[in-house]
Amino acid sequence: MASQASFVAFILDQLSASEGLIAKKMFGEYALYLNEKMFALICDDQLFIKPTAASRAFLEQIGPLSEAPPYPQAKAWFLIESDLLEDREQLAALAQCTAASLPVPVKKIKKAKA
């Protein structure tokens, strides 16, 4: 089941304080990027945060962790519960600490055709 555009818009609105935030549609679902770093997925109208030491520490401070795979055969990511989805400040802080803990993506160089 693909995510609804209204849920994606809600999440983007909740994270609107984060500069450099974009959503890219992928196979009916969405990947969220902050400053070019993919930090979250929206799958089946649920928000999944990439598991990092920083995101784990942040989430452990505010309550019990919930983990689930965002799609079949995927490793578990942090599933964000509705209480946190409603808290703009905490959600933005989680997004920022997760993205900050990720490495800068390496840009691939396209080879010129001869």
CB 49, CB 77: distance < 8 Å:
yes
For 54-63, the pLDDT digits (tens) are: 999 999 998 8
The interaxial angle of helices 88-100 and 53-62, nearest 10 deg, is 160
Question: What domains does the chain contain, in order, with CATH numbers?
Answer: 5-100 (3.30.1460.30)
Q: CA 83, CA 60: separation in Å to the nearest integer?
A: 14
- Which two tokens mark 83? 């209480």
Q: How far apart, in whole angstroms, are the C-alpha atoms of residue 3 and residue 15?
A: 17
Is the pTM higher than 0.75? yes
Q: What is the pLDDT of residues 2-38, one digit of tens each?
A: 888 899 999 999 999 888 899 999 888 999 999 999 9
Residue 2 pLDDT: 80
